[in-house]
Amino acid sequence: MKIASPILAQVEHKIGDLEGLGPLGIDPQRSDMKASSLISNLIGILTIIGIIYFAFQVILAGYKLLTSSGDKNKASEAQLQITQGVIGIVVIIAAVFIVALIGKLLGIENVLNIETWINKLAI
């Protein structure tokens, strides 16, 4: 005697708007776009955060210098902090320009936009 019962594992159920690789979301061959876009955005965000941090350090050191009241130790600490802040900003900006220059010399357009050149390499 056979009892006809549905097998629940074979029934298709929609559970929200799932996104991912394969049948749930994007095509696996297009998954590199998301990763490279994430890396490009992360580099841009970290650059902006670094510039804001070092600019904040320079402003804070300037305030320390103004409020040092003639104390040579506080004034020298503030001057050192200003120097380090300016060096930090210069290093970040120089790094962006150096990477762009190296990319231009190697013939990679938009080297800071990783998504663009990964797509060119994949073709």
∠39-44-50 over CA atoms, to 5°?
A: 120
The owner of tokens 């790094």 is 95
In-domain check, residue 2 = no
Residue 83 covered by a domain: yes
Burial profile 58-68: b = 16 or more Cβ within 10 angstroms, e = fewer = beebeebbeeb
Higher pLDDT, 82 or 11: 82
Sign of CA dihedral 13, 17, 18, 21: positive
Domain of 73? 30-122
Residue 7 pLDDT:
55
pLDDT above 90 as % of the chain: 24
Is the residue at 99 inside a domain?
yes
Residue 66 in domain: yes
Q: Which residue has the higher pLDDT, 44 or 21?
A: 44
Query: Which of 11-15, 26-30, 43-47, 109-113 has the largest mean confidence?
Result: 43-47
Q: Is residue 45 part of a domain?
A: yes
Domain contains 95? yes
What are the tokens at 60?
């804070």
How many CB atoms neighbour CB 115 within 10 A? Answer: 18
Residue 104's φ and ψ, nearest 5 degrees, are: -65, -40
- Overall domain count for the chain: 1
Placement of tokens 């900006």 in the chain: 93
pLDDT at residue 69 greater than cutoff 80: yes
Query: What's this model's pTM, rounded to 2 decimal places?
Result: 0.58
Q: Is residue 12 part of a domain?
A: no
In a domain, 24, yes or no: no
